[in-house]
Amino acid sequence: MKRPSIELDLIGIGTGNPQHLTLEAVKALKGAGLVLVPLKGDAKGDLAKVRRAILGEHVDSAQTEIVEFKMPVRDAADPDYRAGVERWHEAIAAVWKREIEAWCTRASQIPARVALLVWGDPSLYDSTLRIAERLRAAMDLQVRVIPGLTSIQVLTAAHAIPLNEIGESVLITTGRQLREGGWPECADTLVVMLDGETSFVHVLPDGISIWWGAYLGLEQELIIAGPLADCSARIVETRAKARSAHGWIMDVYVLRRSPREA
């Protein structure tokens, strides 16, 4: 079988702690000829610093070129959410293609191995795989996924809790889905991701417990747990202060309702 011209490794890096990298991830980084690092503006400069720290620890700059690029910004005001996301992904894919082709020409490396560092795991509520798929039609490309620790794993470890109750279901969802659809009847435990609007405030708190965490695995880690009625306002205030102080925040939480009576 013919080897593809470009091998693109999507490497899960956990929640940003360099110690979260798996041995497979380290090996993939050491084998890359090019690593692409997105820059998301001064307010999120810490995100690039985390990636740089990981690369500084595991990559030989004499063998691997690190290219930073300005990340396209999604229009959050777009009334058509899905269409807006599609346009955003298209713009990101175009930047990847430009940088990969420029490097291949500059370094004269074909076939070539390119790597991108992905927060958490590339398969869970992350669009990197969908963006990479857009390149297949335009490039001779093969994608490889290096799984990483998810924020869910790091959250439950930080609180030392099991994710599920015995024999009960768990649903992974988003803040948008929780706000618009309410609590799904099919699950007793919810994991809520991608929630920039503290959507738990829309949940009736009676009988609900929450385990919340931000900056998980990092020095500035924050965790709060307890009955939702007691913790809701505290989490909202803590989150707002932390985001203002750092310029960015990544958080996730588990909601669990008390067993219903038969």
pLDDT tens for each residue of 15-70: 888 888 999 999 999 999 999 999 887 767 777 888 888 898 888 888 899 999 99
Query: Residues 68-99: pLDDT tens digits?
Result: 999 998 887 778 888 888 999 999 999 999 99
* Closest to 112 measured CA to CA, from 12, 4, 1: 4
Q: Token digits for 1?
A: 């079988």
pLDDT given at position 262:
36
Task: Quote the pLDDT of residue 111.
Answer: 74
- Give pLDDT tens digits for 159-200: 999 999 888 889 999 999 999 999 998 889 999 999 999 999
Say if residue 116 is in the same domain as residue 171.
no
Query: Domain containing 219: what range?
Result: 152-257
Q: How many residues are listed for the chain in this entry?
A: 262
Q: Does 39 share its domain with 112?
A: yes
Domain presence at residue 84: yes
176 and 139, same domain (yes or no): no
Q: What is the pLDDT of residue 228?
A: 97
Q: Domain ends where: 80, 114, 149?
A: 149
Exposure string of 8-17, with b = 16+ CB inside 10 Å and e = fewer, is bbbbbbbbbb
Q: Is residue 262 part of a domain?
A: no
Residues 203/255, Cβ–Cβ less than 8 Å:
yes
State residue 26's pLDDT score. Answer: 94
CATH of the domain at 88: 3.40.1010.10
Q: Is 144 in the same domain as 160?
A: no
pLDDT of residue 3: 57
